[in-house]
Chain A
Amino acid sequence: MKTETSENFDDAKLARRSFLRYAGAGVASAGLLAIASCSKDHVSPSANNGIGKGDLASSFNANHIDIGSGDLAILNYAYALEQLEAAFYIQAASSPYSGITTAESDFLTEIRDHEVCHREFFKAALGSHAIPVLTVDFSSINFSSRSSVLRAAKAFEDAGVKAYDGAGYLIQNKEYLTLAGKIVSVEARHAALIRNLLEWGSYASSDVVDNNGLNTSLSIAQVLPIANTYLKTKVSAVNYNYKAS
């Protein structure tokens, strides 16, 4: 995931300052600041110990991070999911499955651009509070197969929608909540399209929309184990009852 170029850096830095000022600073960040300075070269033997005891720095390494607490945790949770989605569509768009139509190729390319936009937004907005770039593992996806790619896309989009919906109530800042809302509806638009591509008319089927007409939602502790199956960098959320194994 190589995206930030030096020519964009100043813009991004300005944008970040503006975001943090605008959003207010009343969010916990000590643990997240520690992440940025953690070792990326060594797997600490205490990787799975000590998390939640406040000694966060010793708990993080390139293969295992925690999102921390407070609004920054939720934003980093979103950033993690957007990194995953962006990486998936970058690969799907760069190695099109056999028999892909022009319309499908255009759609996947546009969705890729949206997900990269989400990822870059969080990266710029979070600045030094951002979790590191995650290493993905898509070995379970056959990128030459339409079925494999679209089913994976469906899984990512549906999970993304459920994740944002399920974590919304944890957000304490109104502006952040609205921003999450602005993104989740686009993820839902993606999900509906991908489902229609797989099976016409399945855009809001009963496996994602319940009898009250509500999209099902998932907690952080339910989403991260799924996300981690596609990640080499394991993401934990000990403050939200989930520690990656």
Chain B
Amino acid sequence: MNLLNIIEEIEKADPEVTERLSPRRDAIKNITSFGSKVAIAALPFALGTMFKKAYGSTSTTSTVIDVLNFALTLEYLESYFYNQGTASAGLIPAADTKYIAEITDDENHHVTFLKAVITQLGGTPVSSPTFDLTAGNGSHNGPFEDVLTNYQTFLAVAETFEDTGVRAYKGQAHNLLGNQVVLTAALSIHAVEARHASAIRYLRTNKYGANVKPWITSTLSLGNDTGIALVNANYAYENNVVQGGVDLTTLPGATAGSKTSVATATAAFDEALDMQAVLALLVGSFIVN
């Protein structure tokens, strides 16, 4: 089930909703560019509300299952991405096969795990959407057209997926507040995605001449540190330096008399993204609608 299927379900259930959703559905369909051109604010007012309607009640269990199905959708994407990469002859150098396979295995395990948890909770795991790894919304000639033939493009997309995945899980934590089993599992996947992000970033820098740290180091004006302008929106707000009302740049630094730099303040805290923002980055580009 992808986003449009969900909207269609709502339409079937309540024809009047069609009228209200219609312009926004167009807005979703019209998102064909990936990255900085995607205006988050232009997205449907409440995808969360749509999901609630699509999945029925607004009970806590329903919310938890919505979160898990959202996570599952992201894991489908990552799993598909790495499996396609692995299956593309000549893409991944032999020296990196094992390094990448570790991530592939983890993402495949996440899919299996999340489906099992959703089922155990009495929910129905969503089916996998259709993907276009070039970010072309099904055209397969999107901005990352050579993603499965050019290893550097593959790694750049991997980096973006991992960094965005970290943000997506972080953005859902509050919806699982106090749930020892599900929150702990989600945080544990979140940490693994962060390990992957670090690993891909270090691989790019250590072996392929990229200039990224294992962590996201922003400037005051730009969250994105990857040098790939197309993905600026994936790093929006990573340049935030105020946490819990504390401006980190006013705090003492590590050396005598110093204060915390913007680079340190932004790298020391990863930022969250909510469900709508994450889907805005993916639907209509990597997730075909």
Given contacts A110-B264, A110-B267, contact A196 B244 (CB under 8 A): no
Closest residue on chain A to residue B251 by CB atoms = A120
Instruction: Report whether B177 and A174 are in contact in the complex, using a CB–CB cutoff of 8 Å.
Output: yes
Question: Which residue in B113, B184, B199 is a CB contact (below 8 Å) of A168?
Answer: B184
Q: Which residues of B contact A22 (CB under 8 A)?
A: 244-245
A139: interface (CB < 8 Å): no
Given contacts A169-B179, A213-B110, contact A8 B244 (CB under 8 A): no
Instruction: Report whether A215 and B170 are in contact in the complex, using a CB–CB cutoff of 8 Å.
Output: no
Q: Which residues of A contact B244 (CB under 8 A)?
A: 19, 22-23, 121, 125, 175-176, 179
Q: Which residues of B contact A185 (CB under 8 A)?
A: 166, 170, 190-191, 193-194, 197, 270
B84: interface (CB < 8 Å): no
Q: What is the distance, in angstroms, from A168's C-beta to the closest C-beta of chain B? A: 5
Q: Which residues of A contact B178 (CB under 8 A)?
A: 169, 172
Closest residue on chain B to residue A208 by CB atoms = B195
Instruction: Report whether A212 and B113 are in contact in the complex, using a CB–CB cutoff of 8 Å.
Output: yes
Instruction: Report whether B173 and A168 are in contact in the complex, using a CB–CB cutoff of 8 Å.
Output: yes
Q: What is the distance, in angstroms, from A184's C-beta to the closest C-beta of chain B? A: 6
**Residue from B169, B193, B195, B271 whose CB has the most chain A CB atoms within 10 Å:** B195
Given contacts A117-B260, A117-B265, A213-B106, contact A203 B198 (CB under 8 A): yes
Interface string of A198-232 (1 = CB under 8 A from B): 00110111000101111111000000000000000
Q: Which residues of A contact B269 (CB under 8 A)?
A: 117, 179, 182-183, 186
Instruction: Report whether B214 and A15 are in contact in the complex, using a CB–CB cutoff of 8 Å.
Output: no
Docked pose: A166 CA to B191 CA in angstroms? 11
A5: interface (CB < 8 Å): yes
Interface string of A107-124 (1 = CB under 8 A from B): 100101111111011001
Docked pose: A93 CA to B178 CA in angstroms? 38
Q: Which residues of A contact B191 (CB under 8 A)?
A: 161, 164-165, 184-185, 188, 215
A181: interface (CB < 8 Å): yes
Q: What is the distance, in angstroms, from A198's C-beta to the closest C-beta of chain B? A: 13
Docked pose: A124 CA to B260 CA in angstroms? 13
Q: Summarize A's interface: helix, strand, loop or mixed.
A: helix
Instruction: Report whether B102 and A203 are in contact in the complex, using a CB–CB cutoff of 8 Å.
Output: yes
Closest residue on chain B to residue A188 by CB atoms = B194
Within 8 A of B (CB), among A130-181: 161, 164-166, 168-169, 171-172, 174-179, 181
Q: What is the distance, in angstroms, from A200's C-beta to the closest C-beta of chain B? A: 8
Given contacts A117-B265, A166-B184, contact A189 B189 (CB under 8 A): no
B204: interface (CB < 8 Å): no
Within 8 A of A (CB), among B158-215: 166, 169-170, 173-174, 177-180, 183-185, 187-199, 202, 213-215
B243: interface (CB < 8 Å): yes
Instruction: Give the interface size bracket for B toward A.
Output: 35 or more
Q: Which residues of B contact A16 (CB under 8 A)?
A: 246
Instruction: Give the interface size bracket for A toward B.
Output: 35 or more
B56: interface (CB < 8 Å): no
A33: interface (CB < 8 Å): no
Question: Which residue in A8, A125, A182 is a CB contact (below 8 Å) of B252?
Answer: A8
Q: Which residues of A are at the interface with B, using a C-beta cutoff of 8 A?
A: 3-5, 8, 11-12, 15-16, 18-19, 21-23, 86, 90, 93, 107, 110, 112-118, 120-121, 124-125, 161, 164-166, 168-169, 171-172, 174-179, 181-186, 188-193, 196, 200-201, 203-205, 209, 211-217
Shortest beta-carbon contacts, A-B, top 9:
A213-B109, A18-B245, A188-B194, A192-B198, A11-B250, A214-B188, A185-B194, A215-B191, A189-B198
13 A-B pairs with CB atoms under 8 Å apart are: A3-B254, A11-B251, A15-B247, A22-B244, A114-B264, A116-B254, A165-B190, A177-B177, A188-B191, A189-B194, A192-B194, A196-B199, A204-B199
Contacts A121-B244, A204-B192 known; list 10 others, CB within 8 Å.
Answer: A8-B251, A19-B246, A107-B214, A117-B265, A118-B268, A182-B270, A192-B196, A203-B102, A212-B109, A215-B188
Q: Which residues of B are at the interface with A, using a C-beta cutoff of 8 A?
A: 98-99, 102-103, 105-110, 112-113, 166, 169-170, 173-174, 177-180, 183-185, 187-199, 202, 213-215, 243-248, 250-254, 257, 259-261, 264-265, 267-272
